[in-house]
Structure 1
Amino acid sequence: MDTEAFREHIVTGNTFKGEYITVGGAMLNGQTITDAHIKIPLRTLNRHGLIAGATGTGKTKTLQILAENLSEKGIPVLLMDMKGDLSGIAKAGSNHPKINERHQKIGLPYTPKDFPVELLTISEQNGVRLRATVSEFGPVLFSRIIDASNAQSGIIAILFKYCDDKSLPLLDLKDFKKVLQYATDEGKEEIQDLYGRISTASAGAILRKIVQLEQQGGDIFFGEKSFEVDDLLKLDETGRGKINVIRLTDIQDRPQLFSTFMLSLLAEIYSTFPERGDSERPELVIFIDEAHLIFREASKALHSQIESIVKLIRSKGVGLYFVTQNPTDVPEGVLSQLGLKIQHALRAFTAKDRKAIKLTAENYPDSEYYDTKEVLTSLGTGEALVSALDEKGRPTPLAATMMRAPMSRMDILTNQELDDLYKKSVLAPKYNNSIDRESAYEMLTAKIKKAESEEVKEKAKEERATVKRSTRTSSKSSATEKAILKVLTSATVIRGVLGILGKMIK
């Protein structure tokens, strides 16, 4: 094939008026074409994207490259670090002959750099604590998270309504469990009079689902102080966007907690961020590593909720990027919304794998320069098929791409480096002091105790009244008995006197 024609094809399709980031250089027949750079315009980065490929093909490094370049452009980033290998972004990389050779082929200089990183957590790991209250979820989202049936969702809506009407803050799962217990026990009649009868069986089913969520770490996630999503938009003193890394290495076996957190975060961002329309650059870009964990355990209702948010959140200037092994891990409704696709190599070990590769190839634009199915199985580590959107929303030319190397460390931080980074956090003092203010649990507990105390007092009062009545009755009885005794005594005396007189007369 004509190399110069291919170069012109790539350069023309990757020429933009506005700002962009460069991710690598185009390849043809396995050879890198110098200075045929593959670019992604900032204007379309809120159109979402996918980074996919088999294990060991370079997905994480691609994620790292995108995060670094966005940070340099002053765009904050949020990363889900499922494997624990993204913390190295906080430290500069180092020159290496293979890295220098790669960049020479691409036609880009290589400069090691570190980047501003904030460590976040939703578990027991060190980091800025991310929390949300039950009230912030609302009855609909809370019902979907625990996969409640229609009847159970109705009960949850009643409990939220009752708490709103009675000014009972629902902050954590302990609060919700207390309200649920109250509604089926001490407050059963009150709730029934106000909103109708609550099924004890349905309430028990809801309780079991909440206990299951607690066992996955929901008791840590729900509570105060709630994380304010505006804190994800911080810049450092040089104007670079903060890279917020959520450490999730200890929740891979707790997908319900992960999907709960993700959905609440996206919902909060959508409800909080102002409308941006088609702005020149995104406000925030979110990378969801091991994205299959969100969808694998999610209910149909949860899938629907995620799909809706993906469709709507781009108008808020937010880009979502799903990182997973196979595009089929992502539901079709979500996949159809993704503008940028970076596909690393796929492996064809089985008939099912070959079918998946064929389907994946059909998701990319046709190209006179590539047999897409063949390229997908022949890409090397750090190479990928890239298809983006230009500034007018049209697909850029499909290109097999030699990805540039990350400027930061391609390895994890040591425990000491993690501790040092955590100590420098500007957000930790704001969020890492646990707050347990008076809420539904304490208020209802006090209400129940007060009712019990009043009941005890009432019973004691009734008992005293009974004793008093008994005493009065006893006193009256005693007086009557004395009077009768007196009469009887008098009669006896009279009878005695009369008896004596009678004898005397006789």
Structure 2
Amino acid sequence: MSRQDEFFKHITEGNSCKGEYITLGSAMLDGKTINKAFVNVPLKTMNRHGLIAGATGTGKTKTLQVIAENLSEKGVPVLLMDIKGDLSGLAQPSPGHVKIDERHELIGMPFEAKDFPVEIMTISEQNGVRLRATISEFGPVLLSRILDVTETQAGIISVIFKYCDDNKLPLLDLKDFKKMLQYTTNEGKEEFQKEYGRISTASTGAILRKIIEIEQQGGDLFFGEKSFDVQDLLRLDDNGRAFINIIRLTDIQDKPKLFSTFMLSLLAEIYSTFPEQGDTGRPELVMFIDEAHLIFNEASDALLDQIESIVKLIRSKGVGLYFVTQNPTDVPEEVLGQLGLKVQHALRAFTAKDRKAIKLTAQNYPDTDYYDTAEVLTSLGTGEALISALDEKGRPTPLAATMMRAPMSRMDILTDKELKDLLRSSRMVDKYNETIDRESAYELLNEKIEKAEAEDAKRKAQEEKEKLEKASSRKSSSRRSTRQNPIVKVLTSPTVIRSVLGILGKMLK
């Protein structure tokens, strides 16, 4: 048996699946594509998370697109974080190209152009289904972690939530929470201290500054109502294909605090509401986080711990997380160790640091007799990747340099008209894009303060009135007592007055 035949058998046996699977492409040996040596990923292991990495221009986005398309076709809902704004083309079929036909002929599978059901979403001012969450839904623990506060400040946040619960004050948006912070150290200081203890103004000031930091990055648009129901991510179209939910994030690359806040809240909400899935043979939802370094580079230690915990636990809910980034080292080791599927596009070795990173990356892949992994990582072409997955029993599949299949949908963005038409046909836009500002802590506290100030003004006015009345009474009493004095009566009698005036007259003469 030739080396190529041995390799073909090695790949096909290692990638055989009894259940449902998606095909990413065909394996390569010595730089040549082996026809029909398909590299498959079982749906059963798609909740084991994954990584799509590679230098700029090597094909990461197209790989993401291919996986999303195939999941949608299998009825598995997808959520995409579109940082660069180049994924909306999933809603339109590929126009085709001679290069695509040549690629698929080498792979050994026919090419078919298709569009897919797409929902455009946003957490900022861009057009799309508005994603929001309330402060109350975050809860004190998650909010404290996002704000990266001290233990003392976290205790204050918990007490504020308790006060709001006890006094039926809904915390919906940032202005509600800011008002509560001000109230506890100003107008409501005495009332608050009586029941919950004294709160330092320095601590509330520090918390307030962190709230303002999120607010300046657009958090005032994200926090509020109507809250997004994560069950709406799981919709199917009339043909049984799952929706690909694309969150447009092109305007928040310089707002990492808002991005990490949104991501963590979404993961926490999914984890708390999705049921334990068990071994169903397919994931409930698959999420792709493009430009994943935006989460990790700006995250605090507490936030990283929270992300790590959720990554470990959320797969039991049938949710797979896929991080898309330029270098695997962008993802913390604790998270990287949880990733079952690794699709590594080419890396560039321009510097000593790059070469060191390539050696470290090569060590994360299974040993193989067919490749020098570090060398392959630098020699892969565009649309080629080194793939390591898990089989249906959770074991690593054979490492394969792979010629990736082309996306079935358009490898470009929607036009403005196409985007408007897509949004116009969306049922979710009507459901979530109405701004609701119902009575909450901000309004209720203002009303309480105004009422207290009115009562205080009324009390002061009454005290002033009583004071004036007492002063007037004392003056009248003084006049009456003067008139009743016998000496005063004699001195002010007409006879005495005439005598005094007569004496004065004589003196003047």
- In structure 2, C-alpha distance between the alignment counterparts of 1:192 and 1:340, rounded to whole Å: 54
- In structure 2, C-alpha distance between the alignment counterparts of 1:491 and 1:473, rounded to whole Å: 23
Question: Which residue does 2:53 correspond to in 1?
Answer: 52
Describe the SS at the equivalent of 2:56. coil
Q: Relative to structure 2, which stretch is displaced further, 183-192 or 19-28?
A: 183-192
Identity %: 71
For 2:228, the aligned partner's letter is: F
Q: What pairs up with 1:251-330 in 2 under 5 angstroms?
A: 251-330=252-331
Matching of residue 117 in structure 1 with residue 118 in structure 2: yes
Matching of residue 30 in structure 1 with residue 37 in structure 2: no
Question: Which residue does 1:434 correspond to in 2?
Answer: 435
Question: Which residue does 1:477 correspond to in 2?
Answer: 478
- In structure 2, C-alpha distance between the alignment counterparts of 1:297 and 1:306, rounded to whole Å: 13
- In structure 2, C-alpha distance between the alignment counterparts of 1:495 and 1:173, rounded to whole Å: 82
Residue 174 to residue 493, structure 1, CA distance change in 2 (3 Å): closer
- In structure 2, C-alpha distance between the alignment counterparts of 1:339 and 1:333, rounded to whole Å: 13
- Runs of 4+ in structure 1 displaced over 4 angstroms? 489-496
- In structure 2, C-alpha distance between the alignment counterparts of 1:463 and 1:89, rounded to whole Å: 74
Question: Which residue does 1:339 correspond to in 2?
Answer: 340
Aligned pairs, number = 496
Superposition deviation, residue 242 in structure 1: 0.1
Q: What pairs up with 1:126-165 in 2 under 5 angstroms?
A: 126-165=127-166
- In structure 2, C-alpha distance between the alignment counterparts of 1:140 and 1:155, rounded to whole Å: 11
Residue 429 to residue 485, structure 1, CA distance change in 2 (3 Å): farther
Question: Which residue does 2:385 correspond to in 1?
Answer: 384
- In structure 2, C-alpha distance between the alignment counterparts of 1:490 and 1:97, rounded to whole Å: 128
- In structure 2, C-alpha distance between the alignment counterparts of 1:495 and 1:208, rounded to whole Å: 81
- In structure 2, C-alpha distance between the alignment counterparts of 1:10 and 1:300, rounded to whole Å: 41
For 2:250, the aligned partner's letter is: T
What is the CA deviation profile of residues 51-99 of structure 1, one whole-angstrom value per residue up to 9, with x for unaligned ones?
A: 0000000000000000000000001100000000000000000221110
For 1:61, the aligned partner's letter is: K
Describe the SS at the equivalent of 2:386. strand
Superposition deviation, residue 185 in structure 1: 0.6
What is the CA deviation profile of residues 176-225 of structure 1, one whole-angstrom value per residue up to 9, with x for unaligned ones?
A: 11000111111111221212211111111111111111111111110100
Superposition deviation, residue 474 in structure 1: 2.5
Question: Which residue does 2:73 correspond to in 1?
Answer: 72
Residue 479 to residue 32, structure 1, CA distance change in 2 (3 Å): same
Matching of residue 249 in structure 1 with residue 250 in structure 2: yes
- In structure 2, C-alpha distance between the alignment counterparts of 1:495 and 1:415, rounded to whole Å: 107
Question: Which residue does 1:229 correspond to in 2?
Answer: 230
Question: Which residue does 2:190 correspond to in 1?
Answer: 189
- In structure 2, C-alpha distance between the alignment counterparts of 1:57 and 1:490, rounded to whole Å: 116
For 1:445, the aligned partner's letter is: N
Superposition deviation, residue 494 in structure 1: 10
- In structure 2, C-alpha distance between the alignment counterparts of 1:345 and 1:185, rounded to whole Å: 59
Whether the 8 Å contact between 2:358 and 2:377 is mirrored in structure 1 is yes
Whether the 8 Å contact between 2:483 and 2:489 is mirrored in structure 1 is no
- In structure 2, C-alpha distance between the alignment counterparts of 1:228 and 1:283, rounded to whole Å: 15
Superposition deviation, residue 159 in structure 1: 1.1
Q: What pairs up with 1:81-96 in 2 under 5 angstroms?
A: 81-96=82-97
- In structure 2, C-alpha distance between the alignment counterparts of 1:250 and 1:290, rounded to whole Å: 13
Supply the RMSD in Å over aligned alpha carbons: 1.5
Superposition deviation, residue 153 in structure 1: 1.1
Superposition deviation, residue 160 in structure 1: 1.1
What is the CA deviation profile of residues 398-446 of structure 1, one whole-angstrom value per residue up to 9, with x for unaligned ones?
A: 1000000000000011111111111111101111000000111111111
Normalised TM-score (structure 2) = 0.95
Describe the SS at the equivalent of 1:62. helix
Whether the 8 Å contact between 2:482 and 2:488 is mirrored in structure 1 is no
Q: Which ranges in structure 2 are unaligned for 5 or more consecutive residues?
A: 498-509
- In structure 1, C-alpha distance between the alignment counterparts of 2:38 and 2:234, rounded to whole Å: 29
What is the CA deviation profile of residues 152-171 of structure 1, one whole-angstrom value per residue up to 9, with x for unaligned ones?
A: 11211111111111111111
Question: Which residue does 2:506 correspond to in 1?
Answer: none
Q: Relative to structure 2, which stretch is displaced further, 464-473 or 82-91?
A: 464-473
For 1:361, the aligned partner's letter is: A
Superposition deviation, residue 101 in structure 1: 0.7
Describe the SS at the equivalent of 1:32. strand
Whether the 8 Å contact between 2:490 and 2:496 is mirrored in structure 1 is no
Residue 104 to residue 486, structure 1, CA distance change in 2 (3 Å): same
- In structure 2, C-alpha distance between the alignment counterparts of 1:228 and 1:317, rounded to whole Å: 17
Question: Which residue does 2:401 correspond to in 1?
Answer: 400
For 2:204, the aligned partner's letter is: A
What is the CA deviation profile of residues 234-277 of structure 1, one whole-angstrom value per residue up to 9, with x for unaligned ones?
A: 00010000000000001011111000000000000000000102
Superposition deviation, residue 120 in structure 1: 0.2
Q: Which ranges in structure 1 are unaligned for 5 or more consecutive residues?
A: 497-506
Q: Relative to structure 2, which stretch is displaced further, 430-439 or 190-199?
A: 190-199
Superposition deviation, residue 479 in structure 1: 2.5
Residue 25 to residue 458, structure 1, CA distance change in 2 (3 Å): same
What is the CA deviation profile of residues 269-303 of structure 1, one whole-angstrom value per residue up to 9, with x for unaligned ones?
A: 00000010222100100000000000010000000
Q: Relative to structure 2, which stretch is displaced further, 190-199 or 111-120?
A: 190-199
Superposition deviation, residue 489 in structure 1: 4.7
Normalised TM-score (structure 1) = 0.96
Question: Which residue does 1:4 correspond to in 2?
Answer: 5
Question: Which residue does 2:501 correspond to in 1?
Answer: none
Question: Which residue does 1:444 correspond to in 2?
Answer: 445
Superposition deviation, residue 492 in structure 1: 5.7
- In structure 2, C-alpha distance between the alignment counterparts of 1:12 and 1:113, rounded to whole Å: 30
